[in-house]
Amino acid sequence: MRAGLALLLVVAYASATTMAMAHGDEHASAQVPVRGLALRRRLGTLPVTSYLHGVPVLRAATKTTKSFLVRFVSARAMAVACKAGRHVIGGACTAQYPLLHCSLFVSDEAESVQKLAAHLGPKLVSLVEQDDDFVGLGVSAVATSETQASNSSNATDCPWGVDRINQSQLPLDGQCQRGGRGGAGVRVFVIDSGVNRAHNEFRGRIVDSADFVDGTHEDCQGHGSHVAGTALGSSFGVAPKATLVPVRVLDCNGSSTTSIVLEGINYVAETIKKSPHQPSVAVLSLGGIRSALLNAVIRDLVASNIVVVAAAGNVASDVRYFSPASEAAVLTVSASTRDDSLATFSNFGQGVDLIAPGEAIRSAWMGEANASKIVSGTSMAAPHAAGVAARLLSRAHANGKSLSSKQVMSAMIACAEHDVIQNLQEERGTPNLLLRIPCSMMAKVVQGSKSNASAPGPVSPAVPGPVAPAVS
């Protein structure tokens, strides 16, 4: 029931044509038009932002709302505020995420968020947001008619998505070209439904894991295993030598809440703080209604020098209405088909960075150690990009170089194949850029970078001269 309601709300927001937040007008209590007569009758218009004592409160409280996420101006401000008694702030901080400057605030009554805002004010609090349902599969995984769970009898065959990104044009040549370092030395955080830890695709490469659902550390949905398999599986993956850190935030129905997703992101931030020099990638093949708070947290995570890849979403709408896909600091990926078209379900827009294969992708699944399944979605496109990022970071690391997340993203965009996606509508603003590796531009970035590099500007176009060997 919760997943169904969340999906309904996601579709409603995805169909919106205007949103004050998307244009920076957070002071207006914007009215979001909902396309479709049935949805209009049921939902009408939806409030986005209101202000209480100078503190922006997103998706204002209903009579039953008692859980809020509070973004503080600093970790110290959070500590001070959360020590205040219930009589002062009208509730309690039941969970704290110091590195994210956030806490989960459970109020004694719905209206007590007003007491919280009045007491703390904008000097301590930057944002208050309702703890909404968060959807994994409802946004970013669309099953095809061929999705029958099966054991992979052709594990040595090259998956078409991996095949496609290593050549400039169709037809496919059946070659994976996954030689070289293959992501060795890079850890990939898969923030999803967990993984099938016994699967042959990940044997010996799961270095750690976290579970914020029920503590089992197992994938009872299949989605996370599929995503991980495409990113780094030994036979299905783009970077088959990278290490895996599954972070489970989605339950067996593919559902969650924003607060649970924040717990997963906080875990990643803590892990990076402990070993900041190890190159890292995080992939989030999940999504929900646009959240200014979640986007801010993701932005901080990227600033800690980890490449974050997000699925664009699957409701054929503009990515600006969803999080984390709408956050500019992440690499947002839409989905393509076997014939180089934008998938009909794929989200689009100027917020998209790259397009990658996402239709009828076979990868690992839950259950047996060699289980696989064919699934479609931008959830399947994003891990292709995560694997490419891991391979680029791996080569740089082997050469004693340290690439910033911005360098990696810029190189991947510079390397993309231009103007091969056939059915893009220009007015939607989606860049016609297909994910590509290997690429000589990536090699130039690796050779030209400096250790402990700060985030540079965009990669410059290639200039005439000797061609550097391609990064693989």
Task: Identify the active-site residue in 193, 379, 404, 449.
Answer: 379
For the four alpha carbons of 215, 218, 221 and 226, in that order, the dihedral sign comes to: positive
Task: Identify the active-site residue in 223, 226, 384, 397.
Answer: 223
Burial class (CB in 10 A: 0-12, 13-18, 19+), 411: buried
Task: Identify the active-site residue in 132, 163, 192, 219.
Answer: 192
- CA distance readout (Å), 345 to 10, 142, 341: 14, 8, 11
- 87 catalytic? Reply is no
Could you tell me what percentage of the chain is helix, strand and coil, using 3-state DSSP and rounding each to the nearest 5? 30, 20, 45
Q: Which helix (H) or strand (E) segment is 106 a member of?
A: strand 102-107
- SS3 of residue 24 by DSSP: coil
Q: What is the DSSP string of 323-380?
A: ETTT-TTSEEEEEE-TTS-B-TT--BSTT--EEEE-SSEEEE-SSSTTEEEEEBSHHH
DSSP one-letter code for 143: -
User: What pairing do the DSSP bridges indicate for beta strands 210-211 and 102-107?
Assistant: unpaired
- 318 catalytic? Reply is no
Q: How many CB atoms are closer than 10 A to CB 323?
A: 28
- 363 catalytic? Reply is no
Which ranges of 166-243 does DSSP label H, i.e. alpha helix? 223-232
The residue assigned the tokens 């399944």 is 373
Yes or no: say if 382 and 354 are a contact pair by the CB < 8 Å rule. no
Quote the tokens at residue 13. 């927001």
User: What pairing do the DSSP bridges indicate for beta strands 307-311 and 288-289?
Assistant: unpaired
What is the set of active-site residues?
A: 192, 223, 379
